[in-house]
Structure 1
Amino acid sequence: MRYIFFLLFAVLTLSSCEKQIGSANVSDEAVSAIRVSSPGQPGEDKNAVIPQKIIKEAFLKFETNDLEKTFDQIKTAIAANKGSVQNDSQEKDYGTISRRLTIRIPSQNFDPFLESISKGISYFDEKNISSQNVTEQYIDLYSRLNTKRKLEERYIEILKKATKVSEILEIEKQISAIREEIEAKQGQLKYLESRVSESTVTIEFYKTIAQKEGVKISYGSKIWSAIQSGFYSLSDFLLSLISAWPFIILFCVLAYFIRKRFKRKKT
């Protein structure tokens, strides 16, 4: 019975801790640098200072006269700011050729990189820069993770004292569920850290080509294109007639009988 009591006590302790975390409000002063005092992994500082966690993102779109030259300039800026290209795609339509880059840049180099990219560009078709403060979310995850670790330690202590197979199995089941929650929260923290440590910059640049290509098309080429288009249209029409031959025959037969009937009425 005392092991069941220990289990109930541990569950109630967890519920109480989580309610306290959920109801806690983080002030503006605390967001800038918060000292967390809670048990962590071995070797961790129990009074760790958590600085602000800011996720920065930017989207730039502009026109250029030379796609390759612009791409080389961007590559130089990426290398200088220790970034990397995450995605590179190109597209061509009737009027433009465009290229889109998704770049990851260390957050401390975010502003210098944008300044480097903006040099020589008279105006942007679109320029969006955003920052999201996730410090409170990070602290909440951090605190919940430490609460789960503390609860896991308690269950392990109870497991050492358990003697009945049923109690051991129940305790191990609880420990397994807690470890899954710990791993999930560790993954969430890792994801936040990744987005905070490296900013995402999306750059789309394009070149207008419609007018230049229109000059190269001669009048004779336009006539030949028109003749080809007419020939293809006639071919499509004939093929449509051929595919509809059963209906044409049926129509002719009906027309013949109707005409024959009218002639009989007249006579």
Structure 2
Amino acid sequence: MASTSFDLERGVAGGPRWSRRRLVAAGLAVFVLAGAAVAVVDDGMYAVGDGLAGSVGPEAGSAAVSGSGGDVVTGPAGSSAPVGSDEAAASADLARPAPSGVAVAPPVVPGGEPRVVKHAEMAIEVQGPIPQAFDRVADVARGQGGFVVSSSTSSFEEGPGRADLTLRVPAERFDATRAALSEVGEVRSVQVAGDDVTAQLVDLDARLRSLRAEEEALNGLLAQAGDVGEVLAVRQQVSATRMEIEQLAAQQASLEDLAAFSTLRVALTQPGAAFAGGPEPVAGLDRSLARALEGAVAVVGGMVVVAGYAGPFLVLGLLAWAGQKVARLRRRPA
């Protein structure tokens, strides 16, 4: 019985050469499928991570605010405006969590009162013209002793308009301001949060007192320095200490300002407009194309990951193949 040999160069039993092409095509298919699998797994991991972040967020850095603090009030559509503020991020950067299992006494800020950075977002639907509602919101801010930090308006010949305002009001007028704003129109969504920065301010105050005492001692050494080398060395330490004092003092002043004046973001819309705070609606075909593009980019990214992991094995495979070719050439008769 004749034996059948397999050779990638000539196919099976001396057949056509398309067998190697099949192997290459199969390898490419496996490569693409592996990239798609990595993209799906990554997408699932990001979804889980977002869910975990949302579940631990309030415990990590937020404190309930009096009244409806921390509660989310949704409108008829069942949606809520997202909250994300530079003030919260600034206070979170200075947070130092206490070790688990250790009882920590409530910190005491110089002055005796706790410091809470309050911020809120409100989506209000108005029946009248947007400029008129805009002026009412600005009047509310001024009437409560606050001011408008930034604002933007958009109006169209046809269709509803929109206005967005960022207000800052004294912290003690925070609840009264929200109550006054609710009279401007129908409140579609409200989200209120507070970040307790008491511990950060206590820590900053202690560090500043220590650094100022150190600076005073260094100035005493500078007055007693004898030669030029000692003077330069002490001056360098004084400059470094002074710079650190100024940085910490700026952080302290920023936190005090954020706690003294609360921030409210107000979105004004007219009936028929997209829900304030949410993304603009996208047509069905455009949405499908956008999702297809995102999927393609994710698959390409997955293929890059697969290539990175498979790269060393491919190099070893190529070296083995090259060694086999060289051995065959040497075995051929002259």
For residues 1-267 of structure 1, the aligned pairs below 5 Å read: 29-31=105-107, 33-34=108-109, 48-66=110-128, 67-92=130-155, 95-119=159-183, 121-124=185-188, 126-208=189-271
Identity %: 26
| 1:172-211 deviation digits (Å, cap 9, x = unpaired) | 000000000000011001110110111111101112478x
Check the 8 A contact 1:149/1:182 in 2, yes or no. yes
Read off the aligned partner of 2:216 and give its amino acid letter: E
- Identify unmatched segments of 5+ residues in structure 2: 1-95, 274-334
How far apart, in 2, do the equivalents of 1:176 and 1:89 lie? 44
| 1:12-52 deviation digits (Å, cap 9, x = unpaired) | xxxxxxxxxx9998976533x34xxxxxxxxxxxxx43421
Structure in which a larger fraction of residues adopt helix:
1
Check the 8 A contact 2:137/2:184 in 1, yes or no. no
Q: Work out the number of aligned pairs and report it.
A: 174
Read off the aligned partner of 1:116 and give its amino acid letter: A
Q: 1:189 to 1:120 in 2, by over 3 A?
A: closer
Check the 8 A contact 2:166/2:266 in 1, yes or no. yes
How far apart, in 1, do the equivalents of 2:191 and 2:248 lie? 31
How far apart, in 2, do the equivalents of 1:173 and 1:51 lie? 38
Check the 8 A contact 2:167/2:263 in 1, yes or no. yes
Q: Secondary structure at the match of 2:181?
A: helix
How far apart, in 2, do the equivalents of 1:28 and 1:105 lie? 32
Decide which structure has the larger Cα Rg and report it: 1
**TM-score, normalised by the number of residues in structure 1:** 0.59
- How many angstroms does 1:122 deviate by? 3.8
- Identify unmatched segments of 5+ residues in structure 1: 1-21, 35-47, 211-267
Cα RMSD, aligned residues only: 2.5
- How many angstroms does 1:96 deviate by? 2.7
**TM-score, normalised by the number of residues in structure 2:** 0.48
Q: 1:137 to 1:208 in 2, by over 3 A?
A: same
1:256 matched to which residue of 2?
A: none
Q: 1:161 to 1:102 in 2, by over 3 A?
A: same
1:39 matched to which residue of 2?
A: none
Read off the aligned partner of 1:172 and give its amino acid letter: R
Check the 8 A contact 1:97/1:208 in 2, yes or no. no
